[in-house]
Structure 1
Amino acid sequence: MCTGRCARLVGLALVPMALACMATNILLLFPSREGGWMNHLTPQIWLMGGFVGGGLMVLCAGFSAIHAGGKGCCGNRCQMLRSVFASLWGGLGALYCLVVSDAGLTYGPLCLHAQGKWGRPFSPCSESYLVNRKMWDQCMSPPQAVLWNVVLFSITLDLGALELLLCTVQVLNGLLGTLCWDCRQPAKSQDEGL
């Protein structure tokens, strides 16, 4: 496969993933699909790992890869080199998304728990609340906060891992395209055919 075509495919895969990460992070701001809980969100939600890291930073890498693999740029080493740097930037964003999402899953949501206090009832536990759904009943408000937190942070975690993989592929592909040229040939002009 040509490096240009590969870059285009990677970019076309990264763009929807980045948009999905951004949408997922926005949904995390509204536990249980309600907007009245803004004062009770975890730091991991406010760090915007899915919006900034897995979203905007990866979006730059995706558009750069699409541009490097465009039909009118056969063999353009500068665009491939730019896509390498953009993919490194996107890889850092995806890694940031992974770290923040992992922390969000590890410590759990901020909720009103059984003692009548707001806090994170799962963070000091030795047993993981992710495998023991009976522990989820400790969170009384917002309703279904644990499920909301687990599902959405799992989505950003998985998307961040895929984005990191694709950005790594594009770094290698872009270096190959920069050093070895793209295998596609530019269109021949009519004068050359005569």
Structure 2
Amino acid sequence: MCTGKCSTFVGISLYPLAILSIICNIVLFFPDLKSTYAKQDSEGLYRLTDEVKYMGGVIGGGIVVLIPAIHIHSTGRKGCCANRCGMFLSILFSAIGVVGALYSIAVAAVGLVNGPVCMTPSGSWERPFNNTGGSYLSDSEIWDRCTEPNNVVEFNIGLFSTLLVVGCLELLLCGFQGINGLFGCICGTCNNKEGP
């Protein structure tokens, strides 16, 4: 396959992943689909998981991947392929995308391991699964340690898992584009040679 067509495929594939990453991170601000948890309480604290506020999905998997996606996609626009300079730049942009995806993956993984902030049966807001090393993920019987917001454990697991999978896909695509860009830069790009 032509290196330019590969670039177009990678760029187009990164768009929905970046948008999904942004949406998941934004939805994480609204556990139980209410905005009250994103506001400061009387003690000046937010009742959100710290990893939500790190914006791994918006910044890392979203904006930092979306910018390279635009360049990578435009690299493959010139007919079948692009030039060597464009392919070289796509390597650099791919590296930026890898960094963004890694940030998103790291934040999502830590969010999964530490668990959500929730009200416990004692009436205090805390992270009851923080020191379990993520073992709560496979033991749904202890999820009732969170009484408010409703279904916050499932909510966090679902969205952070989605961010983790999306980040891994972005990492693979950006890594693949780095290799594709290297081939396009060193070996040259294919050209549509048409007759007179």
Deviation (angstroms), 1:180: 1.1
Matched, 1:151 2:190: no
TM-score by length of 1: 0.93
RMSD: 1.4
Check 1:93–1:174 CA distance in 2 against 1; reply closer, same or farther (3 A cut).
Answer: same
Distance (whole Å) between structure 2 residues aligned to residue 62 and residue 159 of structure 1? 14
Aligned to 1:43: 50
Q: Secondary structure at the match of 2:11?
A: helix
Q: Is the 8 A contact 1:5 1:69 kept in 2?
A: yes
Unaligned runs of 5+ residues in structure 1 are none
Unaligned runs of 5+ residues in structure 2 are 39-45
Distance (whole Å) between structure 2 residues aligned to residue 5 and residue 184 of structure 1? 11
Distance (whole Å) between structure 2 residues aligned to residue 31 and residue 102 of structure 1? 18
Check 1:23–1:92 CA distance in 2 against 1; reply closer, same or farther (3 A cut).
Answer: same
Aligned to 1:66: 73
Aligned to 1:90: 97
Distance (whole Å) between structure 2 residues aligned to residue 175 and residue 127 of structure 1? 39
Question: Which deviates more from structure 2 when the two are superposed, residues 153-162 or residues 78-87?
Answer: 78-87
Aligned to 1:32: 32
Deviation (angstroms), 1:96: 0.4
Q: Secondary structure at the match of 2:150?
A: coil
Aligned to 2:43: none
TM-score by length of 2: 0.92
Distance (whole Å) between structure 1 residues aligned to residue 130 and residue 8 of structure 2? 42
Distance (whole Å) between structure 2 residues aligned to residue 69 and residue 125 of structure 1? 47
Of 104, 126, 138, the match for 1:131 = 138
Distance (whole Å) between structure 1 residues aligned to residue 94 and residue 133 of structure 2? 38
The percentage of aligned residue pairs carrying the same residue is 42
Check 1:113–1:55 CA distance in 2 against 1; reply closer, same or farther (3 A cut).
Answer: same
Q: Secondary structure at the match of 1:129?
A: helix
Deviation (angstroms), 1:5: 0.4
Q: Secondary structure at the match of 2:135?
A: coil
Summarize deviations over 1:46-99 as a string: whole Å, max 9, x none: 000011000001111211111011134734112111111111001000000000
Aligned to 1:18: 18
